Structure 1
Amino acid sequence: MSFRQAKRFGQIGVCSALALTLGGLYVQTAHNETLVDYKSKFPPIVTDVEKPPARKDLLEKLGKPISSPAENFSARDATSKFDLIIVGGGATGTGAALDATLRGLNVLLVEKNDFASGTSSKSTKMAHGGVRYLEKAIFQLSKAQLDLVIEALNERASILNNAPHLAHCLPIAIPVYKYWQMPYFYAGCLLYDLFAGSQNLRFSYMMTKNRLLDKHPQLDPEGLVGGLVYHDGLFNDSRMNVTLALTAIHNGATVLNYMEVKQILKNEEGKSKGVRVVDAETNNEYLVAADAIISATGPYSDALLSMDESPSGLPDPEILKHPKMVVPSGGVHIVLPEWYCARDMGLLDASTSDGRVMFFLPWQGKVLAGTTDVPLDKIPENPVATEVEINDILKELQHYVKFEVKREDVLSAWCGVRPLVRDPKKVHAGNINSTQGLVRNHLIYHSPNGLITISGGKWTTYREMAEEVINEVIKDTPEFQTKHLKPCSTRNHKLVGAVNYDDSLSARLAQLYKLTDKMAIHLASNYGDRAAMIIGMFKDPQNAEPLGLTNPPTYANFDHPFTRAELRYSMTYEYARRPLDFLARRCRLAFLDSKMALQCVDEVADIMAEEYGWSKELKKQYIDEAVHYIEHMGLEPNADPYGKL
């Protein structure tokens, strides 16, 4: 190599090195800028929020308790007044309280037990349009059924948008065992997507036999042709219900659990214009007036109707044995270990032996299976799952699973009362058992004395039901005509926990606080942007301990990510008042593993008793209540749905 060539080569080398250096600096700078910009897009991690009003502060809004309980009270005896009273703390009641409050009404909601203590905690956990309704709409040429599907698909989008931490999109596979079913099911899935329109979650698709077995290795491959996959929403029903109540309170509503309506107060014209309510914790009674009253008591709607019909405002004690408005049926669900279904895809049994649709869904780390549909003669106070219904679900599952389905695999089981509703004006003594006048959707009934009842429907459409009943109340209440009320705004109103939530929250919590994936995902997906507040309580080592921890600890104790901190948070921020409130409706342990929940009852009661200052007698009462409830969640063989063993 000549000197000139070497010099030229050296120049090229220097230039190349300089270019690489400058290029590297540029890339690094651009990369850093990208990271800075990316980080700026994260919502903040919330470590502190203002505590909601304490229960005693909410009770003060009801005025002074009456000193001499009696039954001859009227609306003029009331010591406080609201624009609107809502009776019932389920999905529709709390949804209506939020809607009315956002419009500018002064709202009181009272619930006899805990929020979501009835049907609203015992659903299939799906925000869905209902593929079975679509099939009926097509084959029965029913516009009404089609309207139900389209309505629910629209509301599904609202649930996923307003509470993204509690609801998410879930693919659901339909195993196909006959070749002709493949195009049939696929056409149905495509129509489902079509009617969802711009709010469609994902497009449906076909799966080969091998791909389906890769995703669901538990499936029996014999005769399997392939599968269809469509998409729906999956959510945590009781936590959604509690969050609706919290959001209503956050916006100014007065919302109280464990407040039972004993009497509807009448004015001089005999119209329903208030309630006499009893605080279950103190036995104090309050007289509260209102311009309008809504009953959102679901299966128990007839009890409020009987109060409204009675001149004294007192209930018919036998009404739930022969309801006029509600035609009840029981729906049973069971929970199984995670190996019964894929972790990120559900299954739909579209061809059960009795023609029903059966779901098998991954939910909260377990598998949810159901449901049944059994007519009930009366409204049970606490419906339970019978052994017959549990075994019916297991038998259907055995058609698909290649290993033995065992009864001892059932971790929990429960029964919810689904209220089909009919117009009470069309029911009399001669046709009390008739299905005449049944509506497939929900019903808003205006009684002659002014009570407005909303009943029927399903979880997915709670928001629209709430909007409709508030529209009706505003239209029919003269006192509201002079108020400058806002239009409904709940379609896009973020619920508590959703404002600063995004899909990266669980990863950021795990990274920042050195959590396990399971704990980070659990807290983010159940508490949203409030999750870090629970983690902050871990600074006290006792709060970081798992509930039900035995000495010596076993692996089973760490199967659930529920801690003492979560319990303390639920008491301070979510109005959990009894052990069952937390174990069944705040953390869902009773619904996921009733045996483990039973082991936690005493520990939870100890912590709550210390916080609330319970007497030994009251603590024992609440422990017995929780034990009795949980024992009937698949641990004891129930003979009938009314709770008898």
Structure 2
Amino acid sequence: MNRDDNRKRLQQETFDICIIGAGASGAGSALDAALRGYRVALIDRGDISGETSSRSTKLIHGGVRYLEQAIKKLDLAQLKQVRHGLAERRTVIRNAPHLAHPLALLTPVFSWFEGMYMSVGLALYAFFAGNDSFPKGSWLTKAQALAKMPTLTPNMHSAVLYYDGQLNDARYALALAHSADEAGAVVVNYLSVQDFDREGNRLTAAVVQDQVTGETFRIRARLFLNCTGPYSDAIRLLASSTLESRIRPSKGVHIVLPRETLQSDCAMLIPKTSDGRVVFAIPFGDKVFVGTTDDDYKDLSHEPVLEPAEVDYLLETLRPYLAKTPDKTQVLAGFGGIRPLIVSSRATTKTLLRDHEVEYDATSGLLSLLGGKWTTYRLMAQDAIDRAGELLGKSMPGKTESHYLVGGENYRFSDWQQLQQHYKLPADVCQHLMRTYGTRAERVAQLTLSNSDLSERLAENQPFIKAEVMHQVREELAVRPRDVLARRWRLELADWQLTAQLTPAVASLMATELGWTDQVREKQIEEYRALLHSFFVKAGLTTTPTNVASV
């Protein structure tokens, strides 16, 4: 994926479909459409998966909460979501095994009845999953539960164990976009749609501004597909001002704690909170993510950030389930995302349907993919491109169910040993490269042969090496330090202090590759560190690390 080459193609060619928004649904739709043989453009006003799709709970699941609601309320729509989600778990993992895997989850219970209730529910969950390869759940004694997660409260009666999936969401979306590019799609990030050209009322071109160069140009296409998630209404109204709003944005946040919070490879599901939500505590790398909240969010012009009341809420939610509750001084970072819930008659965002809808505006010709969730991104994309094919008058079957994403085919984690043997890199670096790039890890390692400096770590006790930054600029569309640190490495989500510490080194490597002046490099560093500082302030964390510059 070369940004400059792709950008030129956008200006020169006419496409069957121009997809706006490169999160899970947009990148998934681009891959689906490209594999069917359509001429596809995929653009985003920010980075690939720069918004909601990189800020999820990192779970691939049918939805335990949805199943409970479906049974209690005899809600077939909720049951349909569960079945779709469980059916897709296997496909999501199969197609990118370096980025997704099964995850064990423990649910502590405080009475025999509660344990029986949860066991029956999770047995139904496994039943709806069918005969997949996921391990089966079980009801654990207190001693068995503590053996798996020693930090659990001694006040529990027992715990229920079950399995769902976990994914590296931002890199999964990037793999979708990269796979679409290799299938023939033209992928460019940091292109913001300013307006549309029309013949009568019908859209014929998108007027876009390059957020890197400032240049404005047009992308011509027969059909435009809106995949902008919580921002869908803005594109819909830009295409046709008479449309009614369809999205009710909901904010969800996570806090990040040290791995020692759980001392386990298992995650924890908290099935009951003070306001009827479900909260997860999930190991991710060397940290634990705790979330999420669920509240209306109206200020779409600003990035959702962690706030003091949300920190307090999540820490308080953990309290009954751990022997020792972490305090604010142990919060290392946090992140917020916006769910694109479809407007319905239901009263609160906790009960709004998260299933998807493909909407066609006959006046402008705009197609919009609304709602949905990470687990069912492929089905969402399939539905959208099925409809696109009907509108284009050349329907073709989808091929994504069995299509490996870049780095996924023939992946074996144990191949890190061959990587180490050939390139003489440390074991933890080779393991990190395999988990991050899959079978493309060798492309990163090869860069170290021509320049041994590129094998150097960027921080002690961290597996990130300089060669990765070069690879991410050359082949993964990274154009700003945040692209590397927040999405391609996920470091911003895990540790604000370390992210600020590494920003100058990352910016210097990018400057060499992208031809930045010293002034541009310093501006990139200053702006990103100022953003990180603002995260600390807005979260109400009492101690701002000295290396997070206050600007």
Q: Is structure 2 residue 190 aligned with structure 1 residue 276?
A: no
2:355 corresponds to: 441
1:577 corresponds to: 479
Task: Give the letter for the 2:189 counterpart.
Answer: N
> Which residue, 357, 380, 389 being the options, matches 1:465?
380
Tell me by how many angstroms 1:517 deviates.
4.2
Cα contact 2:315–2:325 (8 A) shared by 1: no
Q: Equivalences for 1:241-640 in 2 at 5 Å?
A: 241-267=173-199, 269-310=200-241, 324-422=245-343, 439-447=353-361, 448-475=363-390, 477=391, 480-481=392-393, 483=394, 486-510=396-420, 512-539=422-449, 540-547=451-458, 549=459, 557-558=460-461, 560-634=462-536, 636-637=538-539
> Which residue, 149, 155, 169 being the options, matches 1:216?
149
Cα contact 1:331–1:371 (8 A) shared by 2: yes
Q: Equivalences for 1:156-167 in 2 at 5 Å?
A: 156-167=89-100
Q: Structure 1: how far apart are the matches of 2:252 and 2:137?
A: 28
Structure 1 residues 418 and 632: alpha-carbon distance in aligned structure 2, compared to 1, 3 A threshold: farther
Q: Structure 2: how far apart are the matches of 1:178 and 1:628?
A: 49
- Range moving further from structure 2, 597-606 or 508-517: 508-517
Cα contact 2:389–2:396 (8 A) shared by 1: no
Task: Give the letter for the 1:128 counterpart.
Answer: H
CA deviations 1:189-245 (Å, max 9, x no partner) are: 1111100102251111121111111111111112x2111110000010000011111
> Which residue, 132, 149, 152 being the options, matches 1:199?
132
Cα contact 1:337–1:409 (8 A) shared by 2: yes
Q: Structure 2: how far apart are the matches of 1:260 and 1:341?
A: 42
Cα contact 1:361–1:368 (8 A) shared by 2: yes
Three-state SS of the structure 2 residue aligned to 1:542 is: helix
Tell me by how many angstroms 1:511 deviates.
5.1
Q: Structure 2: how far apart are the matches of 1:381 and 1:349?
A: 30
Q: Structure 2: how far apart are the matches of 1:631 and 1:329?
A: 25
Tell me by how many angstroms 1:353 deviates.
1.8
Cα contact 1:411–1:634 (8 A) shared by 2: no
Structure 1 residues 140 and 508: alpha-carbon distance in aligned structure 2, compared to 1, 3 A threshold: farther
Tell me by how many angstroms 1:89 deviates.
0.9
Tell me by how many angstroms 1:381 deviates.
2.9
1:89 corresponds to: 22
Cα contact 1:102–1:486 (8 A) shared by 2: no
Q: Structure 2: how far apart are the matches of 1:637 and 1:228?
A: 33
Q: Structure 2: how far apart are the matches of 1:107 and 1:142?
A: 38
Cα contact 2:306–2:538 (8 A) shared by 1: no
5+ residue gaps, structure 1: 1-51, 64-78, 312-318, 427-432, 550-556, 640-644
Cα contact 1:595–1:635 (8 A) shared by 2: no
Tell me by how many angstroms 1:342 deviates.
3.7
CA deviations 1:327-348 (Å, max 9, x no partner) are: 1111001111111124321111
Cα contact 2:307–2:538 (8 A) shared by 1: no
Q: Structure 1: how far apart are the matches of 2:435 and 2:309?
A: 34
Cα contact 1:333–1:415 (8 A) shared by 2: yes
TM-score by length of 2: 0.93
Matched pairs, number: 539
Cα contact 1:414–1:634 (8 A) shared by 2: no
Cα contact 1:343–1:365 (8 A) shared by 2: no
Task: Give the letter for the 1:546 counterpart.
Answer: R
- Range moving further from structure 2, 613-622 or 152-161: 613-622
Q: Equivalences for 1:67-86 in 2 at 5 Å?
A: 80-86=13-19
Cα contact 1:265–1:275 (8 A) shared by 2: yes
Q: Structure 2: how far apart are the matches of 1:367 and 1:300?
A: 29
Tell me by how many angstroms 1:273 deviates.
2.0
Tell me by how many angstroms 1:176 deviates.
1.2
Q: Structure 2: how far apart are the matches of 1:594 and 1:567?
A: 19
Q: Structure 2: how far apart are the matches of 1:632 and 1:211?
A: 43
1:55 corresponds to: 3
Q: Structure 2: how far apart are the matches of 1:398 and 1:194?
A: 32
1:68 corresponds to: none
Tell me by how many angstroms 1:542 deviates.
2.0
CA deviations 1:406-450 (Å, max 9, x no partner) are: 212111101101121238xx9xxxxxx999x96441122212311
Three-state SS of the structure 1 residue aligned to 2:237 is: helix
Q: Structure 1: how far apart are the matches of 2:325 and 2:88?
A: 39
1:40 corresponds to: none
Cα contact 2:3–2:187 (8 A) shared by 1: no
Cα contact 1:384–1:632 (8 A) shared by 2: no
Tell me by how many angstroms 1:630 deviates.
2.5
Cα contact 1:99–1:467 (8 A) shared by 2: yes
Task: Give the letter for the 2:30 counterpart.
Answer: A
Percent identical: 37
1:230 corresponds to: 162
Q: Is structure 2 residue 59 aligned with structure 1 residue 148?
A: no
Three-state SS of the structure 2 residue aligned to 1:198 is: coil
Cα contact 1:328–1:378 (8 A) shared by 2: no
Three-state SS of the structure 2 residue aligned to 1:199 is: coil
TM-score by length of 1: 0.80
- RMSD, aligned CA: 2.3
5+ residue gaps, structure 2: 542-550
1:114 corresponds to: 47
Tell me by how many angstroms 1:272 deviates.
1.4
CA deviations 1:434-471 (Å, max 9, x no partner) are: 99x96441122212311011121111111110000111
Task: Give the letter for the 1:151 counterpart.
Answer: H
Cα contact 1:295–1:301 (8 A) shared by 2: yes
Tell me by how many angstroms 1:516 deviates.
4.3
Structure 1 residues 235 and 494: alpha-carbon distance in aligned structure 2, compared to 1, 3 A threshold: same
Cα contact 2:425–2:455 (8 A) shared by 1: no
Cα contact 1:127–1:234 (8 A) shared by 2: yes
Three-state SS of the structure 1 residue aligned to 2:281 is: strand
Q: Structure 1: how far apart are the matches of 2:279 and 2:427?
A: 31
